Amino acid sequence: MMSPKRLFTAGAAVLFVAGLSSLAAAQSASGRQGSTMYDVKTETTITGTVESVENITGTGGRGRHGMGGTHLVVKTEKESVEVHLGPTAYLAEKEITFAKGDTLEILGSRLTVDNETVLIARQITKGDNSWTLRDASGRPAWSGRGR
């Protein structure tokens, strides 16, 4: 039979491991915005004109509405493309802004989410300015901030 002290220590260890597992799962889910969806094998570059800018709050919903943050619709020579940039607060903090009529070159991962085509932006160029929103593997620049 285990002594009360050993029983307490074993119980505390089990709770600690369970807590770490929960924390890891939560961090994985919270970093999901683009990072786990980004696929370097589907990278493409588009050039076009911004038709609209939309800030989607929350991450509930289906399709692009499941990816909260700032979205653009960019008109290329061939099509209009939905572009997911990232969290609106992050873009504001970095003073990254876009408006209807801006001409952009965007490197990103083209994906289909709930039957909607979306380009998750990794790098954006507007004139002489360029912003990198994700690293070469697709990991968002805002993930892990404050650590």
Q: Domain range for residue 59?
A: 40-132
Q: Which of 30-34, 70-74, 77-81, 83-87 is predicted with the least confidence, judged by mean pLDDT?
A: 30-34
Band the pLDDT of 143: cuts 50, 70, 90.
Answer: confident
CA distances to 23, 38, 49, 121 from 108, rounded to whole Å, are: 29, 8, 16, 4
Residue 87 lies in a domain: yes
Which tens digit of pLDDT belongs to each residue from 15-62? 443 333 333 333 333 333 445 689 999 999 999 999 999 988 765 544
Q: For residue 96, tell me if it sits in a domain.
A: yes
Average pLDDT, the chain: 77
The CATH number that applies at residue 113 is 2.40.50.140
**What CA–CA distances, in Å, run from 95 to 55, 66, 89?**
15, 24, 10
Tally the C-alpha atoms within 13 A of residue 9's C-alpha that lie toward its C-beta.
Answer: 5
Number of domains observed in the structure of the chain: 1
Is there a domain that residue 54 lies in? yes
- Token representation of residue 109: 């991962």
Determine the pLDDT at residue 45.
Answer: 98
Q: Residue 134 above 80 pLDDT?
A: yes
